[in-house]
Amino acid sequence: MLHKVMKKTLTLLLHKFRNSGATIIFANYSKVILDTGKPDLYAARTYCDFLLETLQKSAEFKWIELEPTQYWHSLLFMDQYNYGGIQSRSDQTRDDSPVDIVSQWNIAETLPKEIQDDFILIVSEFLYFPWKFARDQASKRASVRDDDDSCTPSITAAAAETIQSGITEHLRKQIESYFTDKLLKLVSAIVLRMGEKGKSYALELIKHVCAVLELDQNVQPEIQIMKRNLLKLVHVREFAPEAQFQKCSISFTLPNMICSYCNDCRDIDLREDSALLSQEWRCSVPQCGQSYDREMMENGLLQIARQRERSYHLQDLVCLKCKQIKAAHLAEYCGCAGSFGLNESAIEFNDKMQVLLNIAAYQKFELLKECVSWILELN
């Protein structure tokens, strides 16, 4: 019942944000990321203050505590473990002050170490170039306003409305010239330096870079053209299966994990969350950081293991052709002439159990290790 109320409240809150003109980038029960659509940081801060003030006046949301913790000049967001952007800083008043480029890409860990830095550098440049262009254009407009007293606020507002199209056009030109040339040279160098092994390395770099850059929907056609040209260097067709980007790691979420110190409740992805790579799992709330109860975590993982085993053995047979569940017990074939099979194959089930076994071995959960090992032996 509580989870239904939480889910309904979150849905209503996001609906309120959308009606106010914001775009939802990501949302869960502990964090919401919004695209305000505002042209500058000052307007975005003012907009967020207005949103919070409006929510506090609403009877449905006045008991919800929301606090802006981070503003971004630009953000490329794949998921909560794969994102990059340029953070704003309260002390960033000078044009020559250093810029904070955040690169939190767990997918980079699946790349060979020799090309991980190349991936981070290219994505960082993709974020930096349009931001620098926008900052330079803002400086030029500011100098024009200072020199011309007749410049009216309406002209400034009109310039603010068209700046996004100028940034997009600048980024398209950069992709067609700088990024395409740089990646063509980089891919050629990798193939020449490493031979046949370099060919697979270069292919992975192409897939990862293009998958991230395509997150910007304004330049997707240019990225696809660039990817097509890059794939020609490694002799791979554009729509071949090996040319498609796939996240390699299997997601494994432990739901409703409660910190015994601050009572924070959240779902934890044990495969993606970089904060859980150490053997001591800690609460990710900045003001807390206390260790989670290991016995509670092991019990939660044991319940997941047993539930997955039951679901696997009790699953219905489905038609491999039309995906309908088998209704007639004695029928050998489906009405569409398709064969029946398991919705979750033995290989998929064993892969999921192997993830649990690896977690148990790494975290020294002996009871979980014994339980999962026994399940794998039976299957």
Q: Is residue 193 part of a domain?
A: yes
Note the pLDDT of residue 154: 44
Residue 352: which CATH number?
A: 1.10.3200.20
263 to each of 233, 254, 289, how far by Cα in Å? 53, 16, 12
- What range does the domain containing 305 cover? 253-378
| Number of domains observed in the structure of the chain | 2
Q: Looking at the structure, tell me whether residues 280 and 205 fall in a common domain.
A: no
Helices (H), 214-326: 220-233, 294-313
Q: Looking at the structure, tell me whether residues 306 and 335 fall in a common domain.
A: yes
What are 262-290's pLDDT values in tens digits?
888 778 777 666 556 555 677 777 788 78
What is the arithmetic mean of pLDDT over 111-124? 93
Tokens coding 46: 């003012």
Q: Is residue 42 part of a domain?
A: no
Q: Is residue 18 part of a domain?
A: no
Note the pLDDT of residue 122: 96
Tokens coding 186: 């980089």
Tokens coding 78: 């794949």
Q: Is residue 368 part of a domain?
A: yes
Note the pLDDT of residue 92: 53
Residue type, 78: M
pLDDT for 86 beyond 90? yes
Look at residues 214, 248, 282 and tell me which one is the last residue of a structural domain.
248
Band (171; pLDDT cuts 50, 70, 90): very high
Look at residues 195, 225, 248 and tell me which one is the last residue of a structural domain.
248
Q: Looking at the structure, tell me whether residues 312 and 214 fall in a common domain.
A: no
Q: Looking at the structure, tell me whether residues 116 and 233 fall in a common domain.
A: yes
Q: Looking at the structure, tell me whether residues 267 and 244 fall in a common domain.
A: no
pLDDT for 370 beyond 70? yes
Q: Looking at the structure, tell me whether residues 240 and 259 fall in a common domain.
A: no
Q: Is residue 128 part of a domain?
A: yes
Q: Is residue 149 part of a domain?
A: no
More confident residue, 257 or 46: 46
Q: Looking at the structure, tell me whether residues 226 and 297 fall in a common domain.
A: no
Q: Is residue 278 part of a domain?
A: yes
> What mean pLDDT is reported for the chain?
85
Q: Is residue 346 part of a domain?
A: yes
Note the pLDDT of residue 206: 95
Percent of the chain with pLDDT over 70: 89
Residue 105 gets which letter from DSSP?
E
Q: Looking at the structure, tell me whether residues 276 and 313 fall in a common domain.
A: yes
What are 7-33's pLDDT values in tens digits?
899 999 999 999 988 999 999 888 899
Q: Which of 89-98, 227-236, 292-301 has the lowest mean pLDDT?
A: 89-98
Note the pLDDT of residue 153: 46
